[in-house]
Amino acid sequence: MAKAVVQLESQDRIEVLANQRLSVNGCHELRELILVFKSSHGDDWKAWPFPQGQSHSEILLRQFLLEQRGEWNPPYTHEEICHCRAVPTREVEKAIIMGAHTPQKVSRWTSASTACGTCRPDVEKMISYFLSSGTLSGKEPVSK
């Protein structure tokens, strides 16, 4: 099984406990989302559908469910995504989760793609992947 934790900074955290129940810590929005899914889809989180929205909580829960199913396959996995500005891929991922849903916003928040621009297509693919509903393969071309 994939790793049992998705975590944003040290705040929002979804974890599978030894008894296979979920432990959720973090903001009110994330805890509310988990409660809504429990009441709508039951306690068996493994059978939950993917959240369809683009809030940070929905993106995190979608990532968690995909990881647990072994289906989390982002299109860019190297440690550093922007070599001109030395921006780690994780920084771009966090920016996307927190609301940088356009390449321009990712550039403003992280400085990625603000020099030669070579990394911009990878940033665009990451945005599309994180905002997709769990059906977009990391290997598929991303239309604009």
Q: Which parts of this chain interact with ligand FES (CB under 6 A)? A: 82-85, 112-119
Q: How far is the CB of 95 from ligand FES (least distance, A)?
A: 14
DSSP calls for 76-144: --SSEEETTTTEEHHHHHHHHHTT--SHHHHHHHH-TTSSS-TTHHHHHHHHHHHHS-S---TTS----
CB of 30 or CB of 119, closer to ligand FES: 119
Q: How far is the CB of 100 from ligand FES (least distance, A)?
A: 15
Q: How far is the CB of 80 from ligand FES (least distance, A)?
A: 9
CB of 15 or CB of 80, closer to ligand FES: 80
